[in-house]
């Protein structure tokens, strides 16, 4: 059976509907940065997702592409994730009526055996096979450290209520939110919005925290 990150690292992906504190290790990602409404047809966000999956599946199929990656094992491509912020606004105060002001980094986790050199090979291979421009795709390392997270069930626009519960829980344990330019509001998408009913969608929401 292929290695499934969601099953092997349940503490990071299969969060229950109650908040908890997690210590997230450093991880590497395929990443694309952008700005704007993620729902815009033909917009920058949807284009970013195309690029991410183009590289992710090139790496997964690398053996068939003739690339011998040391330590390679068969795996399920991890779920889409995203880091989000609005300039001068805390996550609990995101202006959901002004999604055009969202900044985001869309990411897909890389298996640990994938090196930067392997990543660069995949960029070139994806560009060659798909005859497309992958220059916006980057190799990104993130060390989130201590965070509070919770499974949000429902549409994305109802996340503020979940965020408020997360912060209340963290503060009851002596933590305060630690959002910054490098520690961001983080979402992990476990449902396909094209197929799931809005009230059934599952999204892991994660915020960095620190002790008071």
Confidence of residue 138 (pLDDT cuts 50, 70, 90): very high
Residue 167 has pLDDT above 90, yes or no: yes
Q: What is the pLDDT of residue 64?
A: 86
User: Does the pLDDT value for residue 211 go beyond 90?
Assistant: yes
pLDDT more than 70, % of the chain? 100
Confidence of residue 194 (pLDDT cuts 50, 70, 90): confident
Confidence of residue 137 (pLDDT cuts 50, 70, 90): very high
Task: Say what the pLDDT of residue 188 is.
Answer: 98
6 conformational bin, left if phi > 0, alpha if psi -120 to 50, beta if neither? alpha
Q: What is 5-211's CATH topology? A: Multidrug-efflux Transporter 1 Regulator Bmrr; Chain A (3.20.80)
pLDDT digits (tens, 9 = 90+) for 64-121: 888 999 999 999 999 999 999 999 888 878 999 999 999 999 999 999 999 999 999 9
Residue 90, pLDDT score: 83
Checking if the pLDDT of 161 tops 90, the result is yes
Residue-wise pLDDT for 146-159, tens only, equals 999 999 999 999 99
What do you get for the CA distance between the two ends of the chain, in Å? 44
Q: Write down the mean pLDDT value for the chain.
A: 95
């Amino acid at each position: 059976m292929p290695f499934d990150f969601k099953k092997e690292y349940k503490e990071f992906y299969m969060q229950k509907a109650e908040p908890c504190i997690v210590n997230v290790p450093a991880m590497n990602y395929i990443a694309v940065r952008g700005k704007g409404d993620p729902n815009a047809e033909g917009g920058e966000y949807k284009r970013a997702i195309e690029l991410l999956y183009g590289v992710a599946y090139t790496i997964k199929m690398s053996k068939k592409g003739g690339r011998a990656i040391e330590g390679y094992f068969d795996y399920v491509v991890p779920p889409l994730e995203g880091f989000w912020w609005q300039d001068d606004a805390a996550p609990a105060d995101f202006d959901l009526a002004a999604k055009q002001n969202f900044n985001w980094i869309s990411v897909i986790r890389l298996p640990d055996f994938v090196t930067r050199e392997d990543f660069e090979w995949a960029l070139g291979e994806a560009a060659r096979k798909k005859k497309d421009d992958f220059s916006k795709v980057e190799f990104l390392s993130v060390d989130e450290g201590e965070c509070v997270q919770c499974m949000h069930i429902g549409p994305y626009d109802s996340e503020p209520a979940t965020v408020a519960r997360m912060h209340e829980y963290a503060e009851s344990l002596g933590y305060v939110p630690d959002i910054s330019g490098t520690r961001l509001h983080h979402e992990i998408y476990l449902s396909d919005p094209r197929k799931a009913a809005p009230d059934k969608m599952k999204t892991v929401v994660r915020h960095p925290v620190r002790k008071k």
